[in-house]
Amino acid sequence: MTDRTLVLGLDYGTDSARALLIDAKSGETLGTAVAPYKRWAERRWCEPDRDQYRQHPQDYIDALEEAVAGALSQGGEDAGARVAGLSFDTTGSTPCMVGEDGVPLALKPEFAEDPDAMFVLWKDHTATKEAARINELNARSNTDYLRYVGGIYSSEWGWAKVAHVLGRNDRVADAAVSFVEHCDWMPALLTGQEAVRTMPRGRCAAGHKNLWADEWDGLPDESFLTAIEPRLKGYRDTFARETLTSDKVVGHLTPEWAERLGLSRDAVVGAGAFDCHMGAVGGEIRPRALSRVIGTSTCDIMIVREDELGTTTVAGICGQVDGSVVPGMVGLEAGQSAFGDLYAWFAELLSWPLQGIKPGAGDAGHTAPADLGPGRVIAMLSEAAEKVDPTTSELVAIDWLNGRRTPDANQELRGAIAGLSLGADAPRVFRTLVEASCFGSRAIVERIRREGVAIDEVIGLGGVAQKSPLVMQTMADVLNMPIRVARAEQTCALGAAMFASIAAGLHASTGDAQAAMGQGFEAEYTPNPKMTAHYDRVYEERYKPLGAFVEDHLT
């Protein structure tokens, strides 16, 4: 009899999908593979000047098959037969319009090239007006539908994006009867449960981004939704009243998908959730710790006991939802719309003249090394910036280059750099951007604490946390808290694998899964008292006043 102790964690990020094959009992990683989204890599259907970012569902399907095949190929001959379960995490809010059959409209020939029929990526900010309308309507409503999402609705979230699409595209509006989040569609696709009125919906996406709550018996009242956009009439009825926490089973693989993926039909598929929520579990989150998935943006997660939180609702964050991270505990979410993106922007700005220069071209001496792309530039800047004494700098920056997610969502805000002089060279400006990203982190921590939630430490996850001592030490100094960095390179995929193990019955709880499958921590950063005192002054005397000026006068 085949020993079925393997699980797959499927992590759908901004640029690619990752598959992690792991033995749930021993914690051994047997295989891992990454599959890029080929259409997305060509930046098709993206218009950065309009903040429009769309992804085609076929990219998700192609990446799934490629990543799973790659991971299984490393796990041995019978790896597929030994997989007991799989779970998905995805970016979010990343919704897509669907018909009664629950199939994303872009998968139908007549909508194959229509961006509004595709998944609206989390970073798409085309719906700022619709988000503002939701906030205005809520202010006049007898029910505070925004109380569990920080009091402010964001253009990054489901209802604003859907209302924007419906209001501008008649063809899509006529064909659609509802929308589906990416993290809900993947499990439904693989288990044959796409029919929109019975499709299982995950607690995470529903509560944090789409205003689901027990208090109002599911979604907001129909009259509230249709006031946002009349074409939302009937959408409330397409969502099941109950939502699933990530430890629950959605179903088993269909025969077609079992064959396509090389897995057993007995393999279960768990309920999906957002990447950073599952990543927090993969990074061994615990109460009173702020888990930070730090990449192009950040997503900050906490878990709090319901009796400890009481009736407190934390203003200005991205939601608090019972069971959205760890079943039985309230999950809190915050984050920054741009973090590593700040560094990438500056590196691309500096390296722009090099893009048209071919190595060795020899045209009037215009040659450039082959390795001076943005990644190499960031490494060079980091090395030089570490030598800069920040106490001698007059520079300060605001980190809102992609708007502000928290505290107090406002995607129309923009960044700023002040104090520039002829002595402001590239390493100094780069270090100032690093400090700005950390000051933005501090604003989040201060808001959560002010609302009565204790934070004692930070857990750093993701590429920036593992690769940049400069950023992590600066963050520890700015926050005046220790930061532990998770050893696992793919914490989101690992978290998904942990939930797959629970859904498959291999572990009884997230605690059991973390104990068996967790990979511990690889580094710890502790605050430098001298630098903490310096950054306290900069934060209070420069960062906060400059931020207030930008918000009051430059929005």
Distance CA 550, CA 464 (A): 27
* pLDDT on residue 372: 67
pLDDT on residue 1: 40
pLDDT, tens only, 211-248: 999 999 999 999 999 999 999 999 999 998 899 999 99
| Alpha-helical segments (H) within 358-422 | 374-385
Under 8 Å between Cβ of 272 and 88: yes
Length of the chain: 555
Residue 393 CA to residue 419 CA, distance in Å, equals 9
Check residue 367 and give its pLDDT. 55
Convert the pLDDT of each residue in 502-517 to its tens digit: 999 999 999 999 999 9
pLDDT tens per residue, range 39-78: 999 999 999 889 999 999 999 999 999 999 999 999 998 9
Band of pLDDT at residue 17, cut at 50, 70 and 90 = very high
The Cα 205–Cα 333 span in angstroms is 12
Question: Per residue in 267-325, pLDDT tens?
Answer: 999 999 999 999 999 999 999 999 999 988 899 999 999 989 888 899 999 999 999 99
By the 8 A CB rule, do 329 and 304 touch? yes
Residues 6+ apart with CB under 8 A from 138: 144, 145, 146, 153, 224
On the question of pLDDT at 364 being above 60, the answer is no
Which residues have a Cβ under 8 Å from the Cβ of 367 and sit 6 or more positions away? 357, 358, 359, 360, 361
pLDDT tops 70 at residue 362: no
Tell me the pLDDT of the chain averaged across its residues: 94
Tell me the C-alpha distance between 497 and 85, whole Å.
Answer: 8
User: Does 370 score more than 60 pLDDT?
Assistant: no
Q: How confident is the model at residue 371 (pLDDT cuts 50, 70, 90)?
A: low
> Which range has the worst mean pLDDT, 138-147, 152-161, 351-360, 541-550?
351-360
Whether residue 178 has pLDDT greater than 90: yes
For the stretch 422-453, pLDDT in tens is 999 999 999 999 999 999 999 999 999 999 99
Residue 139 pLDDT: 97
Q: Percentage of the chain with pLDDT > 90?
A: 89
Of 298, 290, 506, 552, the closest CA to residue 413 belongs to 552
Rounded distance, CA 293 to CA 435, Å?
Answer: 18
> What's the rounded Cα separation, in Å, for the pair 184 and 206?
10
Q: Domains along the chain?
A: 6-283+488-519 (3.30.420.40), 340-462+537-553 (3.30.420.40)
Annotate 408-473 with DSSP letters as a single string.
S-BTT---EEE---TT--HHHHHHHHHHHHHHHHHHHHHHHHHTT----EEEEESHHHHH-HHHHH
Torsion sign, CA atoms 464, 469, 474, 476 = positive
Alpha-carbon distance of 135 to 115, in angstroms, equals 26
Task: Report, as an integer, the average pLDDT of 152-179.
Answer: 97
Residues 6 or more apart in contact with residue 463 via CB below 8 angstroms: 294, 295, 340
Q: Supply the DSSP string of 158-195, one letter for each residue.
A: HHHHHHHHHHH-HHHHHH-SEEEEHHHHHHHHHHT---
* 334, β-bridge pairs: 300
Assess contact for 128 and 134: CB atoms under 8 A: no
Residue 358 is predicted with a pLDDT of 59
